[in-house]
A and B are shown apart, each in its own frame.
Chain A
Amino acid sequence: MVNLDDLYREILLDHYRRPRNRGPLETANASAEGSNPLCGDEITLELQLDDDGRIADVAFTGDGCSISQASSSLMTEYVRGRKSDEATSAIDAFQAMMIEGEEAPEELGDIGALAGVRKFPMRVKCASLAWKTLELALAQHDRHDDATRATVTTDERSTSNG
């Protein structure tokens, strides 16, 4: 039997209701868009990376379910001020937690609250969207092609059971 409290942990509802780092970022030099078309989750992530690869500032905009928005808020809170390779390890740790069910490392802090999402397989892609978008924004910055904004879209598998 599902217990909704496993999914909607209080800390997640708090980030949904009062998202951190929400809004456009004027000083951004890297950005990416992510979407889950089937559920209608969308985020635009903007990063300001300084010359030594530190994420000096970060912000997101978008619309979507509580899980996708809370995950975005938590992610931005975590990566702000960190080096991009630390962000990359966090992406890996998050994926390991989400996909392989590994314990969340202590240092991810509140992000560990998203572990309960695993019990709701349909929601895993909602939680993962922010992290996939971050991965894309970092990759785009590495290629120095700030002109175009990268986009990630989860594959739309079921298209006709409407």
Chain B
Amino acid sequence: MNSDGGFDIERIRRDFPVLKREVNGRPLVYLDNAATSHRPVQVMAEITRFYRDINSNIHRGVHTLSVEATERFEAVRERMRDFIGAPHASEIIFTRNTTESINLVAHAWGRTFLEAGDEVLISEIEHHSNIVPWQMLRDARGIALRHIPMLPDGTLDLDEARRLIGPRTKLLSITLMSNALGTIVPVAELAELARAQGARVLVDAAQAAPHMPIDVGDLGADFLACSAHKMLGPTGVGVLWGRRELLEEMPPFLGGGDMIASVSLEESTWNELPHKFEAGTPNIAGVVGFGAALDYLEAVGMDAIRSHEVDLTSYALDRLIDVPGVTLYGPLDPELRGGVVSFGLEGVHPHDIGQVLDGEGVAIRAGHHCAQPVMRRLDIAATARASFYLYNTREEVDVLEAAVREAADFFGGFGG
């Protein structure tokens, strides 16, 4: 055991073999977790076991392997229900990723229930995947798309939000944690205002679900979207949760096998939930592997993960703020942000910061992070972004800081 009490970082790190890798002759320091996390050996073993010992299609055969595959797959639906505190497992729909989950709602719900004059409200700090589907819906249906503005510290303007939420608001679609700045949005508060106006609430939990406890009831959500690949699971698996009454009145998103009850050449009737929204063979092994990821996260504990990241984030903010020429973006209170530290260095473009850091084995992201409106509001083209997860350490933050200082020296002579 160690100083984090119960949170055995050495043991956790042993489960992620890639962390032993060297990059450019240095030990890898992986700080790009907001883009995608690594997966522990338990997840890889579960996927291998599935392909080796079972490997069948689901929901179709009477043979033993198909029955076992179906059981494994459906068990993960129940695990996910429990993970986000949803009432019914049949409300969990497996998709490819967050982006597909949001598009599913925009199509199946948005195109059915919204019409000209209705408003969808998003925020200025959304990921492109929670902006573009609504712009497409706006262009197809003539609805209005409005946004809650961002304040200079990366939080949302809640006074303006109160003014914007009104009787025309039909949907509030909002991120719980910004991937560009780390900002944690007070979704429960905003959801209450929206629901009081009869609006539905979609929560983009792509960044939040991997890093903090989530309860859809406490959030006041109607829909929630996330991606397995950011939460120790495989790529190609996403989740959409929706309240049963809403999912039931929505038409299907994609048509094909598995989503029908019966088909004639003239017409079809839809299968029951959740199968109505899962057309075609899904990423079966991926979903099964995702189950092992959820087990891993719960064994460590989402509260423990969150406190570990609050510790790393406040440590990182303290270390970086002292580096001459560094600008930190986003709220400075680590309780108000996830484990994401976006920064700039005077006279050094983020791309060059990322390059010098890579030379030191430190993997960060440089760019607009699929959040160009945030960059525009901050009047910058890009930031450098370090993002943490349960396996990162304070020592790795020290390596980050040293590498940032090296980048400053390398391009030297700017701003001091």
Q: Which residues of A contact B (CB under 8 A)?
A: 1-2, 4, 7-8, 13, 16-17, 37-42, 63-67, 120, 123, 126, 159-162
Contacts and interface: CB of A to CB of B under 8 A. Distances in A.
Contacts of A123: 351, 355
A126 B127 CA distance: 24
Interface stretch (B42-50, B154-162, B190-198, B367-375): B367-375
B130 to A, nearest CB: 11
A162 B127 contact: yes
Contacts of B351: 39-41, 64-65, 67, 123, 126
A8 B382 contact: no
Given A40-B382, A160-B129, A120 B370 contact: no
26 contacts: A2-B359, A4-B410, A13-B411, A38-B368, A39-B349, A39-B367, A39-B381, A40-B350, A40-B351, A40-B382, A65-B349, A65-B350, A66-B352, A66-B411, A67-B351, A67-B352, A126-B351, A160-B128, A160-B129, A161-B36, A161-B370, A162-B35, A162-B128, A162-B179, A162-B180, A162-B365
Interface string B327-371: 000000000000000000000111110011011000001111111
Nearest to B359: A4
B99 interface: yes
Q: Which 3 A/B pairs are nearest by Cβ-Cβ distance? A: A40-B381, A162-B370, A40-B382
A40 B356 CA distance: 17
Contacts of B372: 37
Given A17-B413, A65-B352, A2 B358 contact: yes
A63 B381 contact: yes
Interface of B: 24-25, 34-36, 97, 99, 127-129, 179-180, 348-352, 355-356, 358-359, 365-372, 375, 380-382, 410-411, 413
Contacts, number: 79
Contact of A159 (B35, B352, B370): B370
A37 B368 contact: yes
A79 B149 CA distance: 45
A1 B24 contact: yes
Given A8-B410, A161-B35, A2 B369 contact: no
Nearest to A3: B359
B355 A162 contact: no
Contacts of A65: 349-352
A114 to B, nearest CB: 15
Contacts of B382: 39-40
A161 B355 CA distance: 18
Contacts of A37: 368, 372
B367 A40 contact: yes
A40 B355 contact: no
Nearest to A162: B370
A64 B25 CA distance: 28
Given A2-B24, A40-B382, A42-B381, A7 B349 contact: no
A64 B349 contact: yes
B1 to A, nearest CB: 36
Contacts of A7: 355
**Counting chain B CB atoms within 10 Å of each CB, which of A17, A64, A126, A160 scores highest?**
A160
B383 to A, nearest CB: 9
A155 B348 CA distance: 24
A152 to B, nearest CB: 16
B349, B368, B372, most chain A CB atoms within 10 A = B349
A100 B99 CA distance: 37
Contacts of B380: 40
A159 B128 contact: yes
B367 A38 contact: yes
A7 B407 CA distance: 14
Contact of A40 (B24, B35, B179, B349): B349
A85 B10 CA distance: 63
B369 A162 contact: yes
B180 A120 contact: no
Given A4-B359, A4-B410, A40-B382, 10 more contacts: A2-B359, A13-B411, A40-B368, A40-B375, A64-B349, A66-B348, A66-B349, A160-B97, A160-B127, A160-B128
